[in-house]
Structure 1
Amino acid sequence: MGIDIQTLTTPVFALWLPFVRILSFLHFCPVLQHRAFTRKAKIGMSLLLAILITPMLSQPVILGELLSMNSLLLTGEQILWGWLFGSMLQLVFAALQAAGQILSMNMGLGMAVMNDPTSGASTTVISQIIFVFSTLIFFTMNGHLLLITILYKSFISWPMGEAINDFSLRSLALSLGWIMSSATLLALPTTFIMLIVQGSFGLLNRISPTLNLFSLGFPIGMLFGLLCLLLLAINVPDHYLNLTNEILTQLERMKVY
């Protein structure tokens, strides 16, 4: 009795495209792109999710050959879809970190920087604190289950073989402006408070020039800045939910009909 090679390779070829999309998504999605998650862990998790999701697909795409031009184009498309979904979710953390950057500048702590373990770039301490807090909120609010749900729905709403349209790319480009607007709205109350504090220092300098405002301004500004950070930290869960809902709404608009 001979062994049918095609029968053995068909399940492998059916898993390839979902595996590539899931691996690309896990590589670019927030939290999981941290260096603590090794490549082996991401590959193993992607393979496990592909094995679980592929049988639930109504019309899976089975490749005939992995090295054909059609297979390469489909593979590249899955990489782009995974990058698109991961980048959209990454915008939530980017908006919160940008708000931390603005708060640090208002507090006068722009010089207090450290290396971001995720990207290796320099970031302010306040921004890093907000990122760690947001990560804890991510797991507390079952963000990992949300990622799996988005992955499964992506194969239904954005099936394999559907090319990325101009609307989806335009929505991603417009999201860059959405980051800045969201970060500005998050940091606007703290900016207003610090503006009042700095204005009060200027008024005191005019009333009593003998006061040493350089020695008093920094600790008082630090005190009000910490109070602003406390107010921001209390409202971070609500901001996180609002930003996540906005991202899900933008993904829903890019659905392929």
Structure 2
Amino acid sequence: MISNGQIQVVALLLCRIMSFIAAAPVFSQKDFPNLAKIILGFGIIVSVYPQIDNYHVITSLIAFLLIVVKEILVGLAMGYIGQLVFNAISIAGQMIDFQVGFSMAQAYDSTFQVMSSQYGKMYYWLAVALFFMMNLHQQLIIGVIKSFKIIPLTGGMADGATIQGVVRLFCRTFIMAIELAAPLVITMLIVNLLLGIISRSVPQLNVLMLSLSLQAGLSFLIVLIMLPNIVDTLQQVLPHSVTNMEEFVRALK
């Protein structure tokens, strides 16, 4: 016979886990099959359920609804903080596109339902490939399972230190994006400076038409040359998606 306590536990587990999947990196993509999301969510619930003990049945409907909202917010926050690293990678690609001149070639990406840049998509999918190669998706799921030991279903509270930590994560995200985009952006600035000098020295030369093809060709060449360094940088950056989420969970303890 299924008791009210068991139903409440499964409902609260479902709220946190499915809201996490709805905001987490890779799993939240539109192209990720909905059936796979459901199977993943219920698989995590089966893994977590035996760990839940000392749960007291909530008799008040209002109190239960408040805990449901709390679990949804915790899951969304965990997934979004894990997504911040991928946002930094996409921002880096957009900065490069703006400097190279590809910002005019942005197209609608149905995966994210936003206007995406060319280098932004390249950096993002390279990061996704490395994410799976480094088994970070497994660590992300393990982090969600461990979160139930740190934050019980009826516990967890955000204080001033937690909010400050989230603000620092946002700052770190923009710093990360600048560091990823800096080599190409600086190179393109130097190229633009040289083209400006050429245009002043040889007024007859159509520098505008020359710069479009020159910047595109140089950017591709620099990316190919720096591809091993880009991969090494992404390998150092991507684990932060897991560590940032774990730090946030500990802060809510």
Q: TM-score, normalised by structure 1?
A: 0.87
- Confirm or deny that 1:128 pairs with 2:152: no
Q: How much does 1:37 deviate?
A: 2.9
Question: Aligned letter for 2:77?
Answer: L
Q: Sort the Cα spacing of 1:95 and 1:89 in 2 relative to 1 into closer, same or farther, 3 A.
A: same
Q: 1:20 maps to which residue? A: 15
What is the CA distance between 1:72 and its match in structure 2?
Answer: 1.0
Q: Which runs of 5+ in 2 are unaligned?
A: none
State the match for 2:78 in structure 1. Answer: 85
Shift of 1:10: 3.9
Matched residue, 2:39:
44
CA 1:144–1:115 in 2, change beyond 3 Å: closer, same or farther? same
Q: Does 1:200 align with 2:180?
A: no
1:89 Cα deviation after fit: 0.9
Q: What is the rounded CA distance, in whole Å, between the counterparts of 2:54 and 2:245 in structure 1?
A: 22
For 1:63 and 1:243, the matched residues in 2 are separated by 42
Counterparts of residues 223-242 of structure 1 (less than 5 Å): 223-231=217-225, 233-242=227-236
Report the CA distance between 1:173 and its aligned residue: 3.3
Is residue 21–residue 82 contact of structure 1 (8 Å, CA) maintained in 2? yes
Residue 162 of structure 1, aligned match among 121, 134, 155: 155
Q: Distance in 2 between matches of 1:232 and 1:122?
A: 26
For the pair 1:56 / 2:78, whether they are aligned, the reply is: no
Q: Of the candidates 238, 242, 247, which is equivalent to residue 244 of structure 1? A: 238
In structure 2, the CA distance between the partners of 1:19 and 1:232, relative to structure 1 (3 Å rule), is: farther
Q: Residues 190 and 160 from structure 1, CA distance in 2 versus in 1: closer, same or farther, beyond 3 angstroms? A: same
Number of equivalenced pairs: 250
Query: Which residue among 210, 213, 217 is the counterpart of 2:204?
Result: 210
For residue 231 of structure 1, report the CA deviation from its aligned partner: 4.7
| Counterpart Cα distance in 2 of 1:246 and 1:135 | 14
Q: 1:173 to 1:232 in 2, by over 3 A?
A: farther
For 2:245 and 2:139, locate their aligned partners in 1 and report how far apart those are by CA, in whole Å: 13
Tell which deviates more after alignment, 181-190 or 150-159. Answer: 150-159
Note the C-alpha offset of 1:165. Answer: 1.1
Q: What letter corresponds to residue 233 of structure 2 in structure 1?
A: H
Answer with 166-175 or 195-204: which moved more: 166-175
Question: Where in structure 1 are there 5+ consecutive unaligned residues?
Answer: none
> Cα offset for 1:83?
0.8
Paired residue for 1:183, among 177, 187, 190?
177
Q: Deviations over 1:198-241 (max 9, x none)?
A: 11111222222232322322211111111233355433433333
Q: Is the 8 A contact 2:82 2:244 kept in 1?
A: no
Bigger mean CA offset, 183-192 vs 127-136 = 127-136
Deviation at 1:193, TM superposition (A): 0.8
How much is the aligned-residue C-alpha RMSD, in angstroms?
Answer: 2.3
Residue 32 of structure 1: how far off its partner (Å):
0.9
Q: What SS does the corresponding residue of 1:122 show, helix, strand or coil?
A: strand
2:85, 2:240 within 8 Å by CA — same for their partners in 1? Answer: no
1:103 equivalenced with 2:115 (yes/no): no
Rounded to whole Å, the distance in 1 between the matches of 2:19 and 2:226 is: 33
1:29 aligns with 2:24: yes
